[in-house]
Chain A
Amino acid sequence: MSGRVIVITSGKGGVGKTTASANIGVALAATGSSVALLDMDIGLRNLDILMGLENRVVYNLVDVIEERCKLRQALVKDKRLPNLCLLPAAQTRDKTAVNADQMKALCGELKELFDYVVVDSPAGIETGFQNAVAGAEEAVVITTPEMSAVRDADRIIGLLEARKDEIQQYRLVLNRIRPSMVKSNDMMSVEDVLEILSVKLLGVVPEDEQIIVSTNKGEPVAGTDNTRSGLAFRNIARRLKGEDVPLMDLDALNNTWLTKVVNFFAPVRA
């Protein structure tokens, strides 16, 4: 078996790399594929917390690379999905604990065991980023509709393009979009962002308070029904698998019962 290694990256911090990694991993695994989540944010590890697996971590990525344990010993099985595993980062080390060659070897080993290897990259463009993309063949670039995040995404895309031999495909996920603000021209729209970045769009994830709840609970939204962000991540996973899924109708999200009533009486008001 030879799986796909997909790196989730953004350049800027706080745009939702780790959240996206966890949810894409869960959504892919929910479709039946076997998935390994690889946390590359050595020294600032979070993915285990989002997955609710923090208390099960015994060995980590650096232990594997320094051969203190076997790869299988370090893989933490998910609580809910039996075909989902996490390889946690080390918390008491830093980004220099591994190098690009070791990462390539590790990703090579993982993709023999799993259909998908989802690599959560750290923020920045230095060693940590270089290591995270080292073993990857595909990239998902996360950004939010803010100038700073878009600027950093542009930088990252440039760096990914420079690795054309290794990174065969990269696509964009626009995270935390607020349809109401886009409507009132207070936020960049999907089209605005694509205009700047001119890159293939993989998905759009609306802003959702449930993300905070799920982070604190350690249960990614993609694993639970009836959250709009969860649905968006499930769609992204389906598109990664090659399905043609139309973009979510973001305007529909604005339809609270009040606007529905208003629209009912004044359908052509807009």
Chain B
Amino acid sequence: MSKIAIISQPDQGVLIDVGGCQTLQEATNHLTSTLQISSEFWKGINVDLSLGALELSAEEVAEVISIAAEVGIKPKQVFADNDRTRLHLQAQNINVSLGAPIGLPNSLAVDGGPSSLSSEDGSGCQDQNLLTAESSEAVTGAQLGSVPAAVVAADIDPAASTADGADESIAGGKLEPVPAPAVLYLRQTLRSGQSVSHKGHLVIIGDVNPGAEVTADGDITVWGALRGIAHAGINGDTNAEIRALRLQPIQIRIAHAIARSPDRPRKSLLSHSGPETARIVNGTIKITANNPE
């Protein structure tokens, strides 16, 4: 269930969003577990807090602030939708704003479990990427074993993200749509069975092997061989492109178009024709070479 989100913002430190919680009890529970397990992580980081539509009394506001204070966090700014909550916050001399900060990715799959956070350090958190405390086994364990923090966040396979209630945080309507898609930069070879999904452009420095899947809202760029399945423009963006140094995919999909490899290529996997780009031309996927001339 999507309860609490920890989002790193460009040049602004970290935003903690508890807006997904229905009650204060829930919010404090998640906040406590997340913050305490990873208390080292929070030292010296600028932290904003988003309370969403939660309605809190003066004491409750004080309680939330004190939980944060226990691990050495003093929120620089607090975002809240509820008028009464805002009043209480102002009474405590806290910098309050309406809603959520602009420029955040609009749909972030988040989980209350603090499992992956504890092992992460500040350097792993990249701009505009979400640090999820994701307890789903698909992400922390089997899927991508040793990935940097920012990657763990984006690595949510399509099934997991729908099941985990990513939609829930959208439905809450607290996060503004993102103007320009974020870019996930991933330095890793993806092997069979691994999948990476990202809301934005995806850049992979490494290969995508057969049996691996990469999906993105925007473009997919593989600095290496793309031999698996790639799906760009997953939300219907027909201008999305897929490019790779060696474009030898089993299948590529852009928006709603699908192209599959010929049935009998079986050429050596080492033979290739240089960097190529796939894009939709007149409704079908066309592949063109990226020649230097």
Contacts and interface: CB of A to CB of B under 8 A. Distances in A.
Contacts of B258: 58
A54 B250 contact: yes
A55 B157 CA distance: 20
A84 B157 CA distance: 30
B143 A92 contact: yes
A91 interface: yes
Contacts of A57: 251
A99 B280 CA distance: 39
B195 interface: yes
A68 B163 CA distance: 12
A56 interface: yes
B159 A93 contact: yes
Contacts of B211: 45, 91
Interface string A38-70: 000001110000001011111000100010100
B260 interface: yes
Interface in B194-244: 194-195, 210-213
Contacts, number: 38
B142 interface: yes
B193 A91 contact: yes
Interface in B177-200: 192-195
A123 B157 CA distance: 25
Nearest to A62: B159
Given A66-B159, A92-B213, A216 B260 contact: no
Contacts of B138: 93
A55 B260 contact: yes
B249 to A, nearest CB: 9
Contact of A92 (B193, B250, B261): B193
B267 interface: no
Interface string B138-159: 1000110000000000000101
Interface majority SS on A: helix, strand, loop or mixed? loop
A29 B197 CA distance: 38
Interface in A88-125: 91-94
A79 B193 contact: no
B250 A43 contact: no
B159 A94 contact: no
A45 B210 CA distance: 11
B267 to A, nearest CB: 12
Q: Which one of B159, B194, B251 has the greatest number of beta carbons of chain A within 10 Å? A: B159
A55 B261 contact: yes
A57 B142 CA distance: 22
Interface of B: 138, 142-143, 157, 159, 192-195, 210-213, 250-251, 258, 260-261, 263-264, 266
Given A58-B258, A79-B263, 5 more contacts: A43-B193, A91-B192, A92-B157, A92-B195, A93-B138
5 contacts: A52-B263, A55-B263, A92-B157, A92-B213, A217-B266
